[in-house]
């Protein structure tokens, strides 16, 4: 799955859900880098892609996208996984 910080397809650390939104997940390398530098900023585009890959429709909608857009994003990334 896509790391919300570097955008690479890697195994990710777990994250919590806060106020109905699944929080960004990052890879181990980005987590260590962030802890060393205090730079916790993630790339919002990678985060939304990550949510679509995980099928987190409610989280996507909570971030302000429409249900139609959320469903379309999820379908796009599910198709990429099967090809």
What spatial distance separates the first Cα and last Cα of the chain, rounded to whole Å?
15
Q: Which two tokens stand for residue 62?
A: 């909570």
pLDDT in tens, 9-42: 999 999 999 988 999 999 999 999 998 997 788 9
This prediction has a pTM of 0.81
pLDDT in tens, 38-76: 778 899 999 999 999 999 999 999 999 999 999 999 999
Name the DSSP letter for residue 2: B
| Statement: residue 80 has pLDDT above 80 | no
Residue with tokens 């585009």: 45
**Mapping DSSP to helix (H, G, I), strand (E, B) and coil, where does residue 12 land?**
strand
**Mapping DSSP to helix (H, G, I), strand (E, B) and coil, where does residue 19 land?**
coil
Is the dihedral angle over the CA atoms 54, 5, 68, 73 positive or is it negative? negative
């Amino acid at each position: 799955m896509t790391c919300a910080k570097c955008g690479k397809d890697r195994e990710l650390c777990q994250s919590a859900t806060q106020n109905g939104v699944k929080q960004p997940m990052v890879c181990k390398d980005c987590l260590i880098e962030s802890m060393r530098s205090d730079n916790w900023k993630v790339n919002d585009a990678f985060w939304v892609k990550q949510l679509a890959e995980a099928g987190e429709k409610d989280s996507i909608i909570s971030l302000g996208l429409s249900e139609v857009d959320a469903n379309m994003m999820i379908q796009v990334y599910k198709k990429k996984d099967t090809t």
